[in-house]
Structure 1
Amino acid sequence: MHEPANGLVYAICYPILAAVGIPGNIMAIVILSRGKCGLSKCITCYLVAMAVADLLVVLTSVLLNRIIAVYFPAGFLSITPVCALKSVLVYAAKDSSVWLTVAFTFDRYVAICCQKLKNKYCTERMAGGVVGTVFALSSLRNIPWYFALEPLYFINNVPWYCNFKFSFYKTPPWIAFSYLTHILTPFVPLILILLLNAITVRFILVTSRVRKALRGKNCVEGGSDPEMENRRKSIILLLTISGSFVLLWMTFTVHYLYFRITNSYTYTGNNDPLYVLQEAGYLLLLLSCCTNTCIYAVIQTKFREEFKHSVKYPFTLMSKLVNGNILF
């Protein structure tokens, strides 16, 4: 299991990620759940689920596995059974976040490119089923991590910290499990997201030309096309979310490929370029769980309005209480 990096930069960056990611994702969950952002129930279901998964990543990977491990290295969470359980939660949360992004990308692909399948697939019920399946499979698939770890040492018969068993590096089942883990997260998702986005964008460009040709004079005179406007907004949201995911996971992916190809498993110190690349990859990976709220705020006008209302509400309520305008 990857241990948290020590140093001033990481001691500052991880608390900032937690300070931004936890309230940001909670705010996104609350605002999107109210259903006042002008989004369909299907899209809302996926975005709420993605915010929940991102919140779980921040809580497990940033708060439990980074901040507490850096500032409280010998606490309750360092006891081996708890440490192993924490590892399962960390991997499960990351998998859920990644594959929900893939599910959302596929849903938008179907909605835009597969009109015959759209009415059956792009529904709130189907979205809920997909979300539940992703969370369930992500949890089940990562249970083996609990059994891959053993105590680093014992103190008064109490097992402390987590260390990979020797068999994890030598036996075929564990080797296959390790490779499968990294293939499923993030290589397959990256390929699927890039492929689906390419097909979706191409379809929109082709249909846009056809619709303009059919509309003829109306388009020349600047007549609006509600269908293409809805598609444009949908594709902007899709490309921004999936593009952010690809960019922020790319450093981690490049590092993994490099050390697997070169078998570079050790570092000369904290200033080793490979070590810096590794930690930058983890930091950007975790940053990806804090960006979606910013994306919603930039792209969705109604989300911004709801966000401003939510921020102002406590102050408005306090003002009414002070002025005695609220009756009990």
Structure 2
Amino acid sequence: MNSSGLIYDASALQYGAWGVSGSLISALGLLGNVLSIIVLSDHRFRSSTSVYLICLAVVDMLVLVSMLLCFSLPAISNYTDQLDFYNSEIFPRMNPYAYPLALTAQTCSVFITVAFTIERYIVVCKPLKANKLCTVKRARRYAILVILISLIYNVPRWFEFKLSDTNDNNTTVQMLTALGDNQLYNYIYKVYMYTIIIVIGPFLFLLCLNAALVRTLHRANRNMQQSKHSAQEHNITVVIIIVVGTFLVCQLPSIPDNICGAIYSSAEVRESPNLIRLHTLSNLMVISNSAVNFFLYAVFGKKFRRVFRLKLNFCFGIPIKNQQHTDFTTIPMINTNNGAV
């Protein structure tokens, strides 16, 4: 296959994956994350895990918006030539800022997922420590800490690009800075550190924690007579396991994608159809992961589903026939406030 044919095939592939599918998934995901925030902000969900899940919904929205701006719209423009103005005028000015923001939001999303999985592990496997460690106040502090760590870790990303005006047609283009063009920086920070800290490390850690939660849940299922509290905790664990399991599946293509980035040069990646497909799939799965959580909560979280239905009824003026909605038998999050604000 010649070079022009490969470029066209890559453009068509990314148009379908990022431009069409990615845009649709992002739109649904943005709506879903807004609805998640509305439901989880309800007073019935005043809990430590709801703090993490609200924070996750916010950063996932940032990821989706960034992916739309940095991947979906350019993919549409490259294939259809319908958004030339965006690619030539808007994208070069925006990308030096949207790109580091997207990576910061993605880092935050990964670390928040790790945080609430650790919390669920403590509640399920170390219950005597849960009342002290799993509080709303601590969750807020940890969420702020995660955001700060994500911001600090991605500070170098803000210095990889610069804007430059061309002399021929007075257009603005983005160019690599000395830092962004530094080979040592690219290999150590952008490839190896990113692969270990953001991709493989959290993946393996969450895989182990999720396996421990599944084993504990399996043992608990042997006891058929469960108290109301046990049933609540059971449902929480199921939801968290499914959310984390979905995260692991969506992150799986990123592992070989980043490993290939460490082995092959950018030119070699652009010339390999298989590596292009892998990279395209990897980013599409990142988009999907940031869009899917609302649907997981609605399908598997019984209390989430009931509160969501109540809010829909209220918005559309539908009378609530059953007034026993204040007693929910199962909830998709931890309720260990311990007097925390």
* Alignment TM-score, normalising by the size of structure 2: 0.77
CA contact (8 A) 1:15 1:67 kept: yes
Equivalents in 2 of 1:52, 1:61: separation in Å?
Answer: 14
Count of residue correspondences: 296
| Structure 2 partner of 1:65 | 70
CA contact (8 A) 2:25 2:288 kept: yes
Q: Does residue 201 of the first structure (1) align with residue 206 of the second (2)?
A: no
CA contact (8 A) 1:83 1:161 kept: no
Equivalents in 2 of 1:160, 1:242: separation in Å?
Answer: 42
Equivalents in 1 of 2:89, 2:257: separation in Å?
Answer: 31
Structure 2 counterpart of 1:60, one-letter code: S
1:118-161 Cα distance to aligned partner (Å, 9 max, x none): 11110000000011111121112112112122447635797734
| Structure 2 partner of 1:188 | 201
Report the secondary structure of 2:172's partner residue: strand
Q: Which stretch has the larger CA shift, 53-62 or 164-173?
A: 164-173
Q: Does residue 302 of the first structure (1) align with residue 303 of the second (2)?
A: yes
Equivalents in 2 of 1:159, 1:88: separation in Å?
Answer: 23
1:55-113 Cα distance to aligned partner (Å, 9 max, x none): 11111222x2123434321233422xx42121110110101111110101001011111
Report the secondary structure of 2:268's partner residue: coil
Report the secondary structure of 1:162's partner residue: strand
* Alignment TM-score, normalising by the size of structure 1: 0.80
CA RMSD of aligned residues (A): 2.8
Q: Does residue 272 of the first structure (1) align with residue 273 of the second (2)?
A: yes
Percent identity, aligned pairs only, is: 22
Q: Residues 263 and 68 of structure 1: is their aligned pair in 2 closer, same or farther, counting only changes over 3 Å? A: closer
CA contact (8 A) 2:213 2:241 kept: no
Q: Does residue 140 of the first structure (1) align with residue 147 of the second (2)?
A: no
Q: Which runs of 5+ in 1 are unaligned?
A: 213-218, 318-328
**Higher relative contact order by CA 8 Å / sep ≥ 6: 1 or 2?**
2
1:182-238 Cα distance to aligned partner (Å, 9 max, x none): 2211111111101112223334445666xx4xxxxxx5xxx4333442332122111
Q: Which runs of 5+ in 2 are unaligned?
A: 1-9, 78-82, 319-341
Q: Which of 225, 242, 245 lines up with 2:244 in the alignment?
A: 242
**Structure 2 counterparts to residues 155-234 of structure 1, below 5 A:** 155=167, 160-165=172-177, 168=180, 170-178=182-190, 179-206=192-219, 212=223, 223-234=225-236
Q: Residues 93 and 155 of structure 1: is their aligned pair in 2 closer, same or farther, counting only changes over 3 Å? A: farther
1:11-46 Cα distance to aligned partner (Å, 9 max, x none): 21122022201111111101110133xx56111111
Q: Residues 105 and 30 of structure 1: is their aligned pair in 2 closer, same or farther, counting only changes over 3 Å? A: same
| Structure 1 partner of 2:37 | 29
Q: Residues 105 and 137 of structure 1: is their aligned pair in 2 closer, same or farther, counting only changes over 3 Å? A: same
Report the secondary structure of 1:289's partner residue: helix
Equivalents in 2 of 1:245, 1:226: separation in Å?
Answer: 29
| Structure 2 partner of 1:287 | 288
